[in-house]
A and B are shown apart, each in its own frame.
Chain A
Amino acid sequence: MSRLEKIGDWFEQRLQIGGVVRDAMAHPVPRKSASWWYVFGSAALTLFILQVFTGIMLALIYIPSAADAWNSLQYLNHDVALGWFLRAVHGWGSEFMVAVVLIHLCQVFLFGAYKFPRELTWIIGVFLLLMTLGMAFTGQVLRFDQDAYWGLGIGASITSRVPFIGAYAVHMLLGGPIIAGATLSRFFALHVFLIPGLLIGLVSLHLLLVLKLGINEWPMPGRIVRRATYVKEYEELTHKDGVPFVPAAIWKDMFFSAAIVVSVMVCAWYFGPFGPTGYPDPTIIQTTPKPDFFFLWLYAMLALMPPEMETAALLIGPVVVIGFLVLLPFLSGEGEKSWRKRPVAVVTLLLIAVALGTFTKLATYSPWGPVMNGWSGDPVPVEFLNGRSPLERQGALVFQVKQCRNCHAIGGSGGKRGPELDRVATRLTRDQLVRQVIQGGGNMPAYGKNLNPAEVTALVSFLETLRPANQPAARDASQAVLTQEDQGHPPANTR
């Protein structure tokens, strides 16, 4: 017996875990489940370990104080050897972790793995997803910059909509009356102690359940899950056509995990760390706060939802979504596992993916927000001024100075909140333009109080020139009818 084996034996005599480990390694998995589709869970675990490790590294330097956090991040970025790289790995690791956990959820859902007897594994998984998102949000707060500061304001504003206890909830969230040092300290405690602690506990439970209940078999159309027979069928499957987890399945997990870690490092090296953006001084109001990638869809939804349904959607929406996810294994705990036989499940997943993707895409250029420097940026392009009368040019000046371009694009630049005005004269008549400018409507503020009649006349004259030469100006059909009647002609039969 070698010296190494002797040392091993010494520990084994006391710990007595060799058997458990050997059983876990050798536990049989269905041959078809040793597949590339089953690697996302282990990749999520690998990323979590990476996050814990890099997080501890960052905590060596980071100062969780509203006065110093931002400076300590700058110090990490610029002065600590490879501090920028560790920040980048932690930031990109979080993006990858959210993505991988979401993919894991979709795969488990499509493969029907949440059905009997793996309901609890799924429910714990739902909470693991929520905590992963919680880590992403609290982590964004610890990067204490302008986005973090105003993001907390958004969190507080959403919280304030809770009926009855809203004010108390806001003060509990912020740790006081305003966003300040106490706020950052409590988010630090959440991000570094509370949520990771819960994550470690629940991940262990999640893994234990996978070992106890066995990995989900590859779903076959027509192989129906029944509570009475499933366990026996699974046993047969794994014993007749099973392979030991090590090494038959684990090599794929290890290959994929390594690829993910390398991808994180490549992204970190190439794109660098996230921020910090501007210094978190609330009196610097020249800022356009935006959330991190995985909350962009929410940012878009909050802008585009009708205001009257917003509070209800914000407060009831999460309850419905989480409630549905938790109840899912009880609603369809038996039956078909294969996605080929579950069209509703597939369509639901696709719809959600398309909706979230669309909102995320919209959020990358936020068409609902005014461009705050639209008016002071690009001047009105020359082609819209050539050959115009002095009055019309005066109107162009009014158009520029009154911040119309914050919401309206012309010549391809300006805000996207209102319609582009390059061809507005083909859509609206003079009277309609005057009415729209003075009274507003359809999400446009009324400018009646801020424009004198001369300015309105000039502005509308300018707007009337905004049409391509080959397209006629909008005309009021009723005016034409009236004119014709005056001349004694019968009105044309227009549909």
Chain B
Amino acid sequence: MSDQEKNEISRRDMFAKIGIVLNGLAVAVLAVPVVGYLVSPILGGDRGQYKRWITLGELDEFPEGQTRLAKFRNPISRVGDGETDDTPCWVRRIQGEQFQVFAINCAHLGCPVRWFAQSGLFMCPCHGGVYYQDGSRASGPPPRGLFEYPYKVESGKLLIEAGQLPTLSTTASLREGKTGCQG
């Protein structure tokens, strides 16, 4: 084999390697928008801040000393969401402008808790979590009390700050809950 032949082979070799590098570059460049697209649920909506202040209703819809079911439409809504944007929550009016607004989702695994006024308990149908009227854990598997939405009263209306499914790491409340917020 002459030197020239050796050179030729190494030149082809080099072109093959350049070819690999070129394709690698193309993939790397393509990966930027693809990854950005994929992680948009994290980066989207004001960098993960999905919460907005929304009106739940007039104050007189919530009698003092009672706990009532309220509904609101999720502030971020997309095509094809259907009814899934409608979110229920439990509103407890303690007295005057003192409220507690609980997420419907059990702190255990997110099932919808139901309020029983007569015994003053929230009960979960899935795995048997039970909470007292102030949302604190009474019994069963939940690791904490019910999630609470921050609320405020403005011009006779009750507003809550909501916008994401409350779980142990994406709590409804930005405040540290008195039952020990883990988020």
Min CB gap B94→A, angstroms: 14
A379 contacts the other chain (Cβ, under 8 Å)? Answer: no
Residue B62 interfacial (CB < 8 Å):
no
Is B79's beta carbon under 8 Å from chain A? yes
Interface assignment of A322: CB less than 8 Å from any CB of chain B: no
Closest residue of chain B to A291 (Cβ to Cβ) is B126
The chain B residue with its CB closest to the CB of A300 is B127
Contact A307 B104 (CB under 8 A): no
* Chain A contact residues, majority secondary structure: loop
Chain A residues within 8 Å of B110, by CB:
150, 153-154, 156-157
With known contacts A150-B126, A157-B109, A369-B126, A281–B83 Cβ distance under 8 A: yes
Is B177 interfacial (CB-CB < 8 Å)? no
Q: Does the CB pair B39–A172 fall under 8 Å? A: yes
Bound-state CA distance A307–B48 (Å) is 29
Contact with B along A108-144 (1 / 0, CB 8 A): 0000000000000000000000000000000000000
User: Does B84 count as interface, using CB distance less than 8 angstroms?
Assistant: yes
- Which among A181, A279, A302, A447 is the interface contact of B80 at CB below 8 angstroms? A181
Report which of A153, A158, A182 forms a contact with B165, defined as CB distance below 8 A: A153
C-beta contact mask, A274-305 vs B, less than 8 Å → 1, else 0? 00000111110111110000000001001101
Report how far A259 CA is from B74 CA in the complex, Å: 50
State whether A154 touches B83 (Cβ < 8 A).
no
- Least CB distance from A472 to B in Å reads 31
Stretch from A62-70, A207-215, A222-230 that touches the partner: A62-70
**Complex CA–CA separation, A150 to B111 (angstroms):** 6
Cβ-defined contact, B130 with A153, below 8 A: no
Tell me which of B41, B82, B83, B139 contacts A443 (CB under 8 A): B139
Expressed in whole angstroms, the minimum distance between the Cβ of B170 and any Cβ of chain A is 5
- Once the chains bind, are B71 and A445 in contact (CB under 8 Å)? no
Which residues 15-60 of B have a CB within 8 angstroms of A? 39, 41-42, 44-45, 48, 50
Q: Please give, as numbers and ranges, the residues of chain B lying within 8 Å of A158 by CB-CB distance.
A: 109
B100 within 8 A of A: no
Min CB distance B69 to A, Å, is: 7
B181: CB under 8 A from chain A? no
A177 lies within 8 A of B138 (CB): no
Complex contact A310–B141 (CB within 8 A): yes
Q: Is the beta-carbon distance between B143 and A170 smaller than 8 angstroms?
A: no
Q: Is B112 engaged at the interface, CB distance under 8 Å to the other chain?
A: yes
B contact patch SS: loop
Whether A167 lies near B104 (C-beta < 8 A) is no
Q: Verify if A411 is at the interface (C-beta below 8 Å from B).
A: no
Q: Residues 165-190 of chain A: 1 if any B CB is under 8 Å from the residue's CB, otherwise 0? A: 01110111011111111110100000
Instruction: Provide the bound-state CA to CA distance between A307 and B50, in Å.
Output: 30
Task: Output the least CB separation between A54 and chain B (Å).
Answer: 25
In the complex, whether A370 has a CB less than 8 A from a CB of chain B is yes
Q: Does the CB pair A285–B114 fall under 8 Å? A: yes
- Of the candidates A68, A154, A404, the one whose C-beta lies within 8 Å of that of B82 is A68
Residues of A near B84 (CB, < 8 A) are: 66, 149, 178-181, 183, 280-282
List of A residues within 8 angstroms of B142 by Cβ: 307
- The answer to whether B5 has its CB under 8 Å from any CB of chain A is no
B97 to chain A minimum Cβ distance, whole angstroms, is 23
Q: Is A402 an interface residue (CB 8 A)?
A: yes
Q: B80 and A65: CB pair below 8 A? A: yes
How many of chain A's residues touch chain B, expressed as a range? Answer: 35 or more
Check B140 for interface membership: any CB of A closer than 8 A. Answer: yes
- Are the CB atoms of A174 and B138 closer together than 8 Å? no
With contact pairs A289-B125, A369-B126, A449-B120 given, residues A168 and B139 touching in the complex (Cβ less than 8 Å) = no
In the complex, which of the residues B39, B44, B83, B88 has the most CB atoms of chain A within 10 Å of its own CB atom?
B83
Report if B63 contacts A (CB, 8 A): no
Most A CB within 10 A of own CB, among B39, B112, B118, B183: B112
Task: Indicate if A417 sits at the interface (CB-CB under 8 A).
Answer: yes
Complex: A154 Cα to B45 Cα, angstroms: 23
List A contacts of B39 (CB < 8 A): 172
Q: How far is the CB of A477 from chain B (nearest CB, A)?
A: 29
Query: With the chains together, A331 CA to B48 CA distance in Å?
Result: 44
| CA gap between A413 and B45 in the complex, in Å | 49
Q: Is the CB of A178 within 8 A of B165?
A: yes
Proximity bits, B104-136, A CB within 8 Å = 1, else 0? 110011111110101111011111101011000
In the bound complex, what is the Cα–Cα distance between A281 and B73 (angstroms)? 12
Closest Cβ of chain B to A303, distance in Å, is: 4
Q: Which residues of B contact A404 (CB under 8 A)?
A: 119
At the interface, yes or no: B145 with Cβ under 8 Å from chain A? no
Closest A residue to B131 using CB positions: A445
- Chain A interfacial positions (CB closer than 8 Å to B): 65-68, 149-150, 153-154, 156-162, 166-168, 170-172, 174-183, 185, 279-283, 285-289, 299, 302-303, 305, 307-308, 310-311, 368-370, 372, 375, 401-404, 406, 417, 440, 443-447, 449-450
Query: 14 more A-B contacts (CB under 8 A) besides A303-B127, A310-B141, A445-B132?
Result: A66-B80, A67-B83, A150-B111, A150-B126, A153-B105, A157-B108, A166-B170, A175-B41, A176-B50, A181-B84, A280-B83, A285-B112, A369-B127, A370-B123
Q: 26 A-B pairs, CB-CB below 8 angstroms?
A: A65-B80, A66-B83, A68-B80, A153-B111, A153-B165, A154-B126, A157-B108, A157-B110, A166-B170, A167-B183, A177-B74, A177-B165, A177-B170, A181-B80, A181-B84, A283-B88, A285-B114, A288-B125, A299-B127, A303-B127, A307-B108, A307-B143, A369-B124, A370-B130, A406-B116, A449-B120
The 10 A-B residue pairs whose C-beta atoms are closest, nearest first, are A67-B82, A166-B169, A153-B110, A160-B167, A177-B164, A445-B138, A181-B80, A177-B50, A303-B127, A65-B80
